[in-house]
Structure 1
């Protein structure tokens, strides 16, 4: 099981809180909306990886100290163990720049109250709303052959 990070930038726009998601262009999850993120490199801290991935995938610049941890999720893939991963999710409200598309993502702001969960990984609707509301989520989400959720174990 390898470690990945994901960052959910939030901003206020005309009185509406918005979240930045990107349509994944390549690899695992291609075509889905995801938060910017990726694999943690050897010797790299989770926060450093999150800041690096955010910049590489969106051109947004954030400080490690501005990241707010919101979840640690284990994803065992039942029949594809080589894809199994541990995801560390962060929010960030303080960043510089405007999002730009990259080789990995096509970035777009969405109203936080109208997140298109039907275009995301199936588990996102199970934990992301609570995490965005201020809770810290710990869970193991088992993923099946069709990338659907086979089961969830919530941890305290």
Structure 2
């Protein structure tokens, strides 16, 4: 199981920046920004690097707010299993730009395109947007789309691993 990150920029109006995936795993879905942690990186460093690579936004690791840890399980493709640290970021520099991988767009919370996102997102993302921190597991059916089960727990704080990926 590979460690990954997801990062959601939030602007001063409370809008959420999502990216439409243009290639690879999750193509055509709206999602946060992130990806696989590289050897020698911390989760926070990964989140900042991926945010820059996918949007051109520059931020500092200390400005990340850890809001969740989700374990994504794919019953027919265990090689797709990944655990993801989820962050919000409100302090950053730059204007999001389209990259080879993602097309960014700001969404007011009321218009988040859940029908064009991963099926479980409509369950856990509103919890984060309402100020909760979460830890949980989402299991997908063999089609890699349908949610088989979701187990989400609200927690007072996200315990981040301080180690680097090796």
Q: Given the two structures, how large is their TM-score scaled by the length of structure 2?
A: 0.89
Superposition map of 1:1-156 within 5 A: 1-12=1-12, 16-146=13-143, 147-155=145-153
Gaps of 5+ in 2: 156-166
> Shift of the alpha carbon at 1:145?
2.4
Cα deviations across residues 34-74 of structure 1 (Å, max 9, x unaligned)? 11111000121000000000000000001000000111000
Equivalent-residue separation in structure 2 for 1:139 and 1:41 (angstroms): 23
> Shift of the alpha carbon at 1:144?
1.6
For 1:141, what is the secondary structure of its paired residue? Answer: strand
Contact in 2 for aligned 1:70/1:132 (Cα 8 Å): no
For 2:10, what is the secondary structure of its paired residue? Answer: strand
Structure 1 residue ranges, 4+ long, deviating more than 3 angstroms after superposition: none
Equivalent-residue separation in structure 2 for 1:143 and 1:79 (angstroms): 8
Alignment RMSD (CA, Å): 1.0
The number of residue pairs the alignment matches comes to 153
Gaps of 5+ in 1: none
